[in-house]
Amino acid sequence: MKQNTLKYIIAFAIIVVIGIFAVQSVILKSRFDLSEKQFNESTQIALKEVTWQLLEYNKSYYGQSADFESLEPIERVSNDYYIVNVNDIIDGEVLKFHLIEEFKKHGINTDFEFAVYDCDSDSMKYGAYICADADTCKQIKSYNLPKSDKYTYYFGVLFPKRSQYFNSRMKGSYIFTILLMIVVLFFGYTFYIIIKQRKLSEVQKNFINNLTHELKTPISAIGLSSRVLNDPKIIESPERLLKYAAIIEEQNQRLSKNVEKVLSLASLEKNKIQLNPEEINLNVFVENIIDQFKHTSNGVKSQVSFTPLAVNETVFADKFHITHVFFNILENAVKYCEKVPEISVRIEKQTKNIFIIFEDNGIGIPDYAKKKIFKKFYRVPTGNVHNVKGFGLGLDYVKKIIGAHNWNIKIKDNPEGGSIFSILIPSN
């Protein structure tokens, strides 16, 4: 799949997901508004029925009552509070009975609280808190419902659990939304895996290309040299014989080194690496490694300086693996340098911790790559894949060996150009 095609698919998928959530949000809001409208209409109708029942009761009990047609509309003071003007005497027990009956008849199955205005005390009295489920009701009566200055004979009804009521009615929609989110997250995770696998495929492809190049070059050189040595006349030219024998030895060492890197990777992947820590004098150990490096093909063309600690310090480490770690860092400093490599190695002690610092004047590492260079197979793009030989395994090996010692490694830019690798050895 081409890069642009994948980008278009991802962009389309994001647009579709946004569209789905936008539509779902609109649907949820519409359903909520509809539920609220139905609740308000049902409440208004139920309260009108209650008012009519109160007037009928007064007419049968007192012989007269207010005219139902002359009553003002029910006032909705807030989302959960209604005031009903009866304009006549209100019996609290009769009101309670009809409120329960009418709310039940109109499907208003939620807690409510009511109170009747008392002219003498100028307060809301004769009320009660009614639970939709009376067996679980533990609410204390409050009667602290707001008053109204518009009416004289009225009662108020409050729905304290109105939000919970709507949420219970919207439960199906909420469940569907949650399931939709799970599905979207699943597809998002699937896209993430696809992208990750695609990147891994590209990295592995580059690794295979580099590996093929690094193995074929010495094999070809050894094959060519072997054919020359098979010529009987080569004995007559001892200089040529020694030259091609040296080529075979050099390329064989190169081939062995590359195979060793791949085998080391396989060993690390299977967690078969075993450290053999021993006490070492850090100053002497690092100085010996630098001396060895100076005699390698990379070391002879570089300038390496070393600043030891003022006082000798000993640490426990695996000499074999730590030697390879330091060699990897030093070789990278040479390979990724476009001028005469200058490498400064120094050991410092700060707040009991020991730092081994490698400072070079190479091409540096871009900020975006600093967190990736320790990943397996990763190589900083430099145009041609083969302009700097390697598999992208060195720093992955460095990171794992440093971690196995419970040490830490960090990288930052060298202000004078290049990079600075710092290995932190915690104090015991």
385 — pLDDT class (breaks 50, 70, 90): very low
Looking at the structure, tell me whether residues 392 and 337 fall in a common domain: yes
Cα separation, 54 vs 304, in Å, equals 103
pLDDT, one tens digit per residue, over 256-278 is: 766 766 666 666 555 556 788 89
Maximum mean pLDDT: which of 18-27, 188-197, 318-327: 318-327
pLDDT of residue 391 exceeding 60, the answer is: no
Query: Is pLDDT larger for residue 287 or for residue 19?
Result: 287
Cα separation, 386 vs 410, in Å, equals 26
Looking at the structure, tell me whether residues 247 and 286 fall in a common domain: no
131: left (phi over 0), alpha (psi -120 to 50) or beta: beta
Cα separation, 370 vs 359, in Å, equals 15
Query: Is pLDDT larger for residue 132 or for residue 388?
Result: 132
For 63-159, where are the alpha helices, taking DSSP H only? 92-105
Cα separation, 390 vs 375, in Å, equals 14
Q: What is the mean pLDDT of the chain?
A: 81
Q: Among residues 424, 393, 400, which one has the least CA distance to residue 410?
A: 424
Split into its structural domains, the chain has a count of 3
- 8 A C-beta contact, residue 130 and residue 99: yes
pLDDT at 384: 46
pLDDT at 162: 82
Give the domain-ending residue among 217, 252, 269.
Answer: 269
Q: Once rounded to an integer, what is the mean pLDDT over residues 357-376? A: 83
pLDDT, one tens digit per residue, over 333-364 is: 888 888 888 999 999 988 888 999 999 998 88
Give the domain-ending residue among 119, 141, 169.
Answer: 169
Q: Once rounded to an integer, what is the mean pLDDT over residues 322-335? A: 87
Q: Once rounded to an integer, what is the mean pLDDT over residues 316-335? A: 88
pLDDT of residue 282 exceeding 80, the answer is: yes
Looking at the structure, tell me whether residues 39 and 127 fall in a common domain: yes
Containing 416, the helix (H) or strand (E) segment is none
Amino acid, single-letter form, for residue 24:
Q
Give the domain-ending residue among 218, 243, 269.
Answer: 269
pLDDT at 186: 84
Looking at the structure, tell me whether residues 249 and 327 fall in a common domain: no
Domain that holds residue 284: 278-425
pLDDT at 213: 60
Looking at the structure, tell me whether residues 160 and 176 fall in a common domain: no
Say which CATH number the domain at 220 has: 1.10.287.130
